[in-house]
């Protein structure tokens, strides 16, 4: 298990390319999901300096509950179909929001969050939660983030 994170420089893709194997090493040999999500959130926040990085996990068929995260305090529960996280869960797809003020039903856990990406967590054919990443900058996330964050969450074992 690696315990040191080497912060990469370069393009966004180059930073992800350097980070993915480091996250895989952090998770290697550790069976505890909470520990792995905590280290994944920390690694992503350290590398990219995002405002908030964390997980929401399914708690029954209609609600997500806050999981491991890095950043300021957050909303504890989110209903399926509500906000960006609940919408990603309901649609079974990654959602990129360039301006959260323009997203219908956005849940403002922090007024400093300006853009967001939410990636579903799959366990086989079932969505068991989401990775939520917020930035204090508008239009911060793109297809590069989508591609790599979807790859990174597949490293989790449920």
Q: How far apart are CA 60 and CA 68, in angstroms?
A: 18
Residue 1, pLDDT > 60, answer no
pLDDT of residue 104: 77
Across the range 128-148, mean pLDDT stands at 97
pLDDT of residue 110: 67
Percent of the chain with pLDDT over 90: 89
CB atoms closer than 10 angstroms to residue 68 = 18
For 100-126, b/e burial (b = at least 16 CB within 10 A) is beebeebbebbeebbbbbbbbbbeeee
Residue written as token pair 């998770």? 27
- As a three-state string, the secondary structure of 115-139 is EEEEEEEEECCEEEEEEEEEECCCC
Q: Which residues lie across from 56 on neighbouring strands?
A: 66, 130
- Mean of the per-residue pLDDT values of the chain: 94
Question: What is the homologous superfamily of the domain 12-153 according to CATH?
Answer: GAF domain (3.30.450.40)
Give domain limits for the chain.
12-153
pLDDT of residue 128: 97
pTM: 0.94
Residue 2, pLDDT > 80, answer no
Segment 81-134, tens digit of pLDDT: 999 999 999 999 999 999 998 887 777 776 778 899 999 999 999 999 999 999
Which DSSP letter does residue 42 get?
H
Q: How far apart are CA 118 and CA 85, in angstroms?
A: 6
Residue 51, pLDDT > 70, answer yes
């Amino acid at each position: 298990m690696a315990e040191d994170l080497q912060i990469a420089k370069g393009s966004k893709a180059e930073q992800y390319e350097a980070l993915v194997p480091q996250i895989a090493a952090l998770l290697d040999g550790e069976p505890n999901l909470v520990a792995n999500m905590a280290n994944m959130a920390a690694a992503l926040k350290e590398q990219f300096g995002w405002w908030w990085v964390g997980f929401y996990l399914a708690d029954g068929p209609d609600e997500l509950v806050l999981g491991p995260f890095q950043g300021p305090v957050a909303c504890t529960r989110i209903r399926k179909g509500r906000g960006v996280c609940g919408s990603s869960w309901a649609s079974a797809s990654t959602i990129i929001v360039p301006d959260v003020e323009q997203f219908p039903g956005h849940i403002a856990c922090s007024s400093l969050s300006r853009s967001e990406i939410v990636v579903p967590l799959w366990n086989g054919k079932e969505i068991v939660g989401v990775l939520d990443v917020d930035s204090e900058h508008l239009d911060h996330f793109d297809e590069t983030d989508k591609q790599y964050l979807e790859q990174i969450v597949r490293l989790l074992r449920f």
